[in-house]
């Protein structure tokens, strides 16, 4: 048989192949039981965990600042223990578990698999999302802060590139069964195994957009299966307490979205259709590190109970700019609440806010931002809706202070509202914590330099 015939046969085999990918999590503290259910379903060959958001990465950086051995996903040992039996059975696991400490995550994963008796498995770590040196050299102005990196000095604690699918595919091609990294873009975690299964080039924009669509549907875990959807009596979802996570069976030109049999939630054209525009500013140009995806002509067609066929994504070349998330020390954040009830509760809560504000004027030079809200009146809608006077209300303080001393002063004065404030206040809760603000900026994508490290369990 000549080489041309062999190539045609491989292409025909790939056209009939299905890439089976499941979701393990949509954020750092997501439930683990649905991930186990997905892995045990017999419906997946890959399971991907999205464990990072902007604030999660900032929190991870703060943990690493306090302890250089920390900074990776806090639940990684638990996840490794839960997934180890499935890795032994051939399922491959992918996740941005590394957060602010990819080397630490690699070490913890290898140790966890060994402790679970899983030996001889390749664990791949993707390095290269640390962009701190690159942005220090560029010294750009940070949008939202309106100051250059150099102006902020040691207040800039981290900068991370959003990475795409390419090095996950390389890791899978190298035989890794567990792939981890830092700030890997959400959809890329799920798109990469699809590209690997079909052998699609990262430069084939339509194929990458197709895989990215699947990844985008899966990346928020239960949102595609009825989570964040229920709105009784208009939209009913049963079994939210045992919500099943989504699974994608991806083919050459379409995919079936489903969930484990017997799990809670629902999969239909409404739940899947609502997830597709989620966090997409322009459906004709959804920017990812891998592709500029066009979801404007995507169709969702129901094909039986909890089964939806999705198709229609197109793509063009990836953006020339890489997104970087910059972490900046903001000092200390203070949040506090006190409750008032019965007649006059709104007026008393407003008086409490004025009383506290007057009491903390002496800290104004150390307060960068302060606000007061009445939960149940104006905290979410800004008082734009007329409504009857509530029977109870919570007055909430939120402030950023440049010094810990000021933060403690604001907290102390809030506590004084028990006796020095209006009548009937109760249920005071106060929280003070150091905080990092996160700000996106965009730099030349050619500055991203990745490399792969593989260890055996």
Contact 43, 247 (CB under 8 A): yes
Residue 145 lies in a domain: no
- Are 120 and 208 within one domain? yes
233 prior amide bond cis, ω within 30 = yes
CA angle 339, 344, 347 (to 5 degrees): 75
Give the H or E element holding residue 247.
strand 247-250
- Are 109 and 203 within one domain? yes
pLDDT attached to residue 1: 43
Query: What would the pLDDT profile of 226-271 be if each residue is shown by its tens digit?
Result: 999 999 999 999 999 999 999 999 999 999 999 999 999 999 999 9
**Domain CATH number, residue 384:** 3.30.70.100
- Report d(CA 179, CA 47) in Å as an integer: 11
3 state SS of 90: coil
CA dihedral 245, 250, 255, 259 (to 10 degrees): -20
Residue 25 lies in a domain: yes
Of 277, 296, 319, the last residue of a domain is 319
Give the H or E element holding residue 64.
helix 54-66
Residue 452 lies in a domain: no
Q: For the residues 7-19, what does the mean pLDDT come to?
A: 63
Residue 447 lies in a domain: no
> What is the average pLDDT value for the chain, to the nearest integer?
93
Contact 4, 197 (CB under 8 A): no
Residue 288 lies in a domain: yes
Q: For the residues 23-42, what does the mean pLDDT come to?
A: 97
365 prior amide bond cis, ω within 30 = no
CA dihedral 84, 85, 86, 90 (to 10 degrees): 90
- Are 179 and 274 within one domain? yes
- Are 388 and 243 within one domain? no
- Are 306 and 176 within one domain? yes
**146 pLDDT more than 90:** no
**185 pLDDT more than 50:** yes
- Are 88 and 7 within one domain? yes
pLDDT attached to residue 6: 45
3 state SS of 326: strand
pLDDT attached to residue 376: 80
Q: Which of 81, 57, 298, 252 is nearest to 159 (CA)?
A: 57
Q: For the residues 394-417, what does the mean pLDDT come to?
A: 97
**348 pLDDT more than 80:** yes
- Report d(CA 293, CA 198) in Å as an integer: 19
**2 pLDDT more than 60:** no
Residue 449 lies in a domain: no
pLDDT band (50, 70, 90) for residue 415: very high
Residue 397 lies in a domain: yes
Q: For the chain, what is the domain count?
A: 2
**122 pLDDT more than 50:** yes
Q: For the residues 318-341, what does the mean pLDDT come to?
A: 95
- Are 352 and 425 within one domain? yes
- Are 44 and 177 within one domain? yes
- Are 269 and 215 within one domain? yes
pLDDT band (50, 70, 90) for residue 414: very high
Residue 448 lies in a domain: no
Q: Which of 66, 134, 60 is nearest to 101 (CA)?
A: 60
**380 pLDDT more than 80:** no
> Where are the alpha helices (H) located in 70-204, listed in sequence order?
76-88, 102-115, 132-138, 149-152, 166-173, 186-198
- Are 337 and 252 within one domain? no
Kindly state the percentage of the chain with pLDDT values over 70: 94
Domain encompassing residue 8: 3-128+163-319
The residues, ordered by sequence, that sit 6+ positions from 329 with a Cβ below 8 Å of its Cβ are 154, 155, 156, 157, 434, 435, 436, 437
pLDDT attached to residue 420: 94
- Are 338 and 419 within one domain? yes
The residues, ordered by sequence, that sit 6+ positions from 396 with a Cβ below 8 Å of its Cβ are 335, 336, 337, 372, 373, 374, 375, 379
- Report d(CA 91, CA 85) in Å as an integer: 9
pLDDT attached to residue 62: 85
Q: For the residues 180-195, what does the mean pLDDT come to?
A: 98
Other Cβ atoms less than 10 A from the Cβ of 198: the count is: 21
- Phi, psi of 231, rounded to the nearest 5 degrees: -150, 70
- Report d(CA 405, CA 396) in Å as an integer: 20
- Are 11 and 106 within one domain? yes
- Report d(CA 442, CA 161) in Å as an integer: 9
- Phi, psi of 70, rounded to the nearest 5 degrees: -100, -170
pLDDT attached to residue 256: 98
Q: For the residues 76-93, what does the mean pLDDT come to?
A: 98
């Amino acid at each position: 048989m000549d080489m041309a015939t062999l190539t045609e046969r491989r292409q025909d085999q790939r056209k009939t192949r299905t890439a089976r990918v499941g979701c393990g999590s949509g954020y750092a503290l997501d439930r683990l039981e649905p991930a186990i259910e997905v892995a045990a379903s017999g419906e997946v060959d890959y399971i991907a965990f999205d464990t990072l958001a902007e604030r999660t990465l900032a929190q991870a950086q703060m943990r690493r600042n306090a302890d250089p051995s920390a900074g990776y996903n806090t639940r990684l040992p638990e996840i490794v223990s839960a997934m180890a039996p499935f890795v032994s059975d051939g399922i491959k696991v992918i996740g941005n578990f590394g957060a602010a400490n990819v080397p630490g995550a690699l070490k913890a994963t290898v140790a966890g698999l060994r402790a679970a008796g899983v030996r001889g498995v390749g664990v791949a770590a993707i390095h290269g999302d640390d962009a701190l040196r690159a942005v220090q050299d560029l010294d750009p102005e940070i949008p939202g802060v309106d100051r250059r990196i150099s102006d902020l000095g040691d207040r800039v604690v981290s900068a991370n590139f959003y990475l795409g699918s390419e090095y996950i595919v390389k890791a899978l091609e190298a035989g890794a069964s567990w792939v981890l990294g830092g700030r890997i873009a959400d959809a890329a975690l799920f798109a990469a195994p699809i590209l690997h299964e079909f052998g699609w080039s990262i430069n084939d924009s339509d194929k990458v957009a197709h895989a990215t669509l699947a990844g985008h549907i899966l990346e928020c875990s239960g949102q595609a299966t009825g989570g964040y959807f229920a709105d009784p009596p208009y939209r009913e979802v049963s079994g939210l307490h045992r919500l099943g996570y989504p699974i994608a069976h991806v083919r050459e030109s379409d995919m079936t979205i489903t969930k484990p049999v017997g799990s809670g939630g629902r999969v239909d054209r409404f739940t899947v259709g609502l997830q597709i525009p989620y966090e997409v500013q322009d459906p004709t140009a959804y920017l990812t590190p891998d592709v500029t995806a066009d979801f404007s002509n995507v169709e969702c067609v129901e094909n039986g109970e909890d089964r939806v066929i999705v198709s229609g994504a197109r793509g063009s070349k990836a953006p020339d700019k890489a997104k970087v998330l910059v972490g900046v020390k903001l000092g200390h954040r203070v949040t506090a609440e006190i409750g008032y009830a019965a007649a006059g509760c709104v007026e008393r809560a407003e008086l409490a806010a004025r009383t506290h504000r007057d009491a903390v004027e002496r800290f104004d030079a150390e307060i960068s931002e302060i606000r007061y809200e009445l939960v149940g009146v104006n905290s979410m809608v800004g008082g734009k809706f007329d409504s009857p006077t509530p029977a109870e209300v919570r007055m909430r303080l939120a402030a950023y202070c440049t010094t810990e001393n000021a933060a403690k002063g604001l907290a102390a004065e809030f506590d004084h509202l028990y006796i020095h404030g209006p009548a009937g206040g109760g249920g005071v809760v106060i929280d003070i914590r150091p905080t990092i603000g996160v700000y996106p900026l965009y730099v030349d994508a050619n500055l991203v330099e990745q490399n792969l490290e593989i260890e055996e369990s």
